[in-house]
Structure 1
Amino acid sequence: MMLVSPAAERSQDPLLSVLQAVLEDQAHTKLFGLELGSGTGQHITHFAQKLPFITWQPSDITEESRKSIRAYLDATKVQSVLQPVFLDAREPWEKWAGLSQSSCDVIIAVNLLQYSSFSTAEGVFKGSGQILKTNGFLITYGPYAINGVITPIYNEELDQRLREMNPEWGLPDIDVLRQLAFANGLRLERMIDMEESNKCLVFRKVQMIQTHTD
């Protein structure tokens, strides 16, 4: 059953442009990408058709979304997208669907962080810090707060609505994400203004953080 998200429909081409710009100098190599919280599957099948040099692993926490992703894979016949897997970003990276350390060139999370608890955001950066190759990218997209300030008014209203739905949700603060990234060997390299007051944050993996096991 294919689910359709109008927001995904609107954002897929602008996001594709960001991916093309960020990855253009690697277009001659074979890359591996992970999408966290793939949702309907619209984005990943769209990207796959335009960026054939990337093999994508879609993932989602809900079975309904994974069904929708499978339906999009059947409908579009894209060859470079693997079957969707269950992945809960709150869990340690060792539980991320069997992905090994330094196995990903790019990880994307589209409209995920505002619908997530802080522990999910922490997990996204911890996991990305381990699963990305050095110089790999984590790209997050959505509405954000900047230094505790949310603009314009409709983003403020969105934040309020999200918090009413779940007190742990809400627009994440870019400064907090920057610190989370830094703690996990990632650096915020670019902040790109997108349509409807959304932003694309491009983090680059600069070093491997040692995990201490007792």
Structure 2
Amino acid sequence: MLPFSAAADRNKDVILEKLTPLLAGRRHVLEVGSGNAQHAVHVTSALPHIRWQCSDLAENLPGIAARLADEGNAHTPPALALDVAAGPWVLNAGEAHDDIDVIFTANTLHIMSLDHVAGFFERAGETLTRPGDIMIVYGPLKYGGAFTTESNAAFDLQLKSWNPVSGIRDFEALDAMAGQAGFRFVSDQPMPANNQLVLWERSR
């Protein structure tokens, strides 16, 4: 049986709905932390102009490979081993990746340590170098240090019980990291299950 995330399955259609206008005219998405590759196969099935490059920690690649072998298509190449803590990212696994114009990550930043989150934004700035390239982050956020719901506050406690370095991140901190990496904030859209979809654009 393929690895499966119920949350990714529940939210895949609304994520696709929000991504569709953002990916119009785009070519090549690098997904950081692809999990089970459910977003990759769902988005590329609906948007065949997009090449979707999965990536994750090396130990998670077998599950991604299994899904891509079963459900993938010509627009979902083999996943890359990628660790946000290690830089620079090595993306040229036998082919050119200089046309990546989108970085997408879902439900990852609250799992990483804050240092790794900073590494993610720094590496994203090294990867997306053209003005107009975009970075899209999906997941729960805090604003001004406050949780948006009681359930997110409870989720934050649960995350910290699993790993003290994890936790729901402050939007303001993420925006500052994005700005330092050369991105400007564009939009923040509310999503189901108390999540957000935040878009930054490469500005310099």
TM-score by length of 1: 0.89
User: CA offset at residue 177 of structure 1?
Assistant: 0.3
Return the alpha-carbon distance in structure 2 between the equivalents of residues 57 and 171 of structure 1: 26
**8 Å CA contact 1:66, 1:84 repeated in 2:** yes
**8 Å CA contact 2:104, 2:136 repeated in 1:** yes
**8 Å CA contact 2:31, 2:103 repeated in 1:** yes
TM-score by length of 2: 0.93
Counterpart of 2:36 (choices 30, 35, 40) is 40
User: CA offset at residue 151 of structure 1?
Assistant: 2.3
**8 Å CA contact 1:191, 1:202 repeated in 2:** yes
Query: Superposed, which structure 2 residues align to 1:32-111 within 5 Å?
Result: 32-63=28-59, 65-93=60-88, 95-98=89-92, 103-111=99-107
DSSP-derived class of the 2:101 partner: strand
Q: Deviations over 1:110-142 (max 9, x none)?
A: 000010101121111111111113211110001
Q: Count matched residues.
A: 201
DSSP-derived class of the 1:188 partner: strand
Q: Which runs of 5+ in 2 are unaligned?
A: none
Return the alpha-carbon distance in structure 1 between the equivalents of residues 136 and 14 of structure 2: 13
Instruction: Give the direction of change, closer, same or farther, for the CA distance of 1:77–1:168 in structure 2 (3 Å limit).
Output: closer
User: CA offset at residue 76 of structure 1?
Assistant: 1.6
Residue of structure 2 equivalent to 1:196: 193
Query: Superposed, which structure 2 residues align to 1:1-214 within 5 Å?
Result: 2-24=2-24, 26=25, 31-63=27-59, 65-93=60-88, 95-98=89-92, 103-132=99-128, 133-207=130-204
Return the alpha-carbon distance in structure 1 between the equivalents of residues 58 and 173 of structure 2: 27
Return the alpha-carbon distance in structure 1 between the equivalents of residues 147 and 40 of structure 2: 29
Instruction: Give the direction of change, closer, same or farther, for the CA distance of 1:71–1:189 in structure 2 (3 Å limit).
Output: same
Return the alpha-carbon distance in structure 1 between the equivalents of residues 144 and 83 of structure 2: 28
Query: Which residue identity does 1:73 align to in structure 2?
Result: L
User: CA offset at residue 183 of structure 1?
Assistant: 0.5
Q: Which runs of 5+ in 1 are unaligned?
A: 208-214
The percent identity for this pair of structures is 29
Q: Pairwise CA RMSD of aligned residues?
A: 1.7
Which runs of at least 4 in structure 1 moved beyond 6 Å after TM superposition?
none
Query: Which residue identity does 1:98 align to in structure 2?
Result: N
DSSP-derived class of the 1:115 partner: coil
Q: Deviations over 1:43-97 (max 9, x none)?
A: 111111111111111011142x31121111121241101101110012222x333
**8 Å CA contact 1:135, 1:205 repeated in 2:** yes
